[in-house]
Amino acid sequence: MEKIKSLADLRKLQETLKAKIDLREISNDADSRIQVKVAMATCGIASGAKEVMEAFIEEFTKRNIGAVVTQTGCMGYCYAEPTVEVTKPGADPITFGYVDVKKVSKIIDKYIIKNELLEGIIPVNYQSIDNKF
């Protein structure tokens, strides 16, 4: 990665970055992006959620996967922080608990790429009325 020190330098890189993104979106389906939400409330931040979020961004960048990584508020699983909800296109969201930087690679390798489940999944304990009828 080129080292840049200013927003002016970033502006010069616009075309290069855009080309990388366009190339990735030709090979992946641009409309079906993986969504990763990292719970970022007090308990999550104290448990290391910031580092987990950075690790997801770094891994997706390294592997050229066009996922959207974002923060969310407390999901209510304070006992299992850091928690991360992963939604693959066409699939229900899955929430992983006790996520650390090492587990980020496992989630990407096993669940996102190979579609294999792994330990630490927090089972859904609710269903909205819209899903029932």
**Residue 40 corresponds to which amino acid?**
M
Range in contact with other proteins (rule: CB under 8 A) among 61-69, 92-100, 110-118, 122-130: 61-69
Q: Is 78 in the site for other proteins (CB under 8 A)?
A: yes
Q: Where are the beta strands (DSSP E) in 2-124?
A: 35-39, 68-72, 84-87, 94-96, 121-122
Minimum CB separation of residue 14 from other proteins in Å reads 5
Measured from the CB atom, the residue of 31 and 119 that comes closer to other proteins is 31
Cis peptide bond N-terminal to 89, omega within 30: no
Q: Alpha carbon 129 to chain centroid distance?
A: 27
67 binds other proteins (CB under 8 A): yes
Please tell me whether residue 104 adopts helix, strand or coil conformation: helix
Binding-site member from 5, 102, 114, 132 for other proteins (CB under 8 A): 5
What contacts 122, CB < 8 A, 6 or more positions away? 77, 80, 83, 95, 96, 97
Tell me: does residue 121 bind other proteins (CB under 8 A).
Answer: no
CB 57 within 8 A of CB 90: no
> Measured from the CB of residue 126, what is the shortest distance to other proteins in angstroms?
11
Rule CB under 8 A: which of 15-54 touch other proteins? Answer: 17-18, 20-21, 40-43, 45-46, 50, 53-54
What residues line the site for other proteins (CB under 8 A)?
1, 3-11, 13-14, 17-18, 20-21, 40-43, 45-46, 50, 53-54, 57-58, 60-61, 66-71, 73-76, 78
